Amino acid sequence: MAKSKSKTSSQKKDMIERLESLREMLESERERILQEMKEKHSVNEIVAHGDLVDQSNDYSERELLLGMAEHDRTRLLSINEALTKIDEGTYGTCTTCGEEIPEARLLALPTAKNCIKCQSASEGYG
């Protein structure tokens, strides 16, 4: 009986260590994104000037920066949601079926909200 209790305790310890490792990965990614956002040129710094070709190029650059900023914001939201789930004890649970998301998926995509089966079904592949 004591043997299974120690195994359960060991499994819990391993799970806590994996969660902490994932938390560190998420926090590191969040810091990297925030740093990159600070270093990028502000969209407001791009001013249309010159002939139509120059203005078109400036407009294209503005659109690219806006798209990148939106991607960064979306990524930050996903990271913050994952960190909140870790704090709440719900991290690693599929939001669709309630099953545990495999550790390999979480290591590959720490912000995963769904297991592969449910994610595939939501994308029309299942």
- Structural domain boundaries in the chain: 33-40+49-91, 94-126
Q: Phi and psi for 87 in degrees, rounded to 5?
A: -60, -35
Give dist(CA 105, CA 10) in Å, integer: 22
pTM score of the predicted model: 0.70
Q: Phi and psi for 100 in degrees, rounded to 5?
A: -70, 135
pLDDT digits (tens, 9 = 90+) for 59-116: 777 777 777 788 888 999 999 999 999 999 999 999 999 999 999 999 999 999 999 9
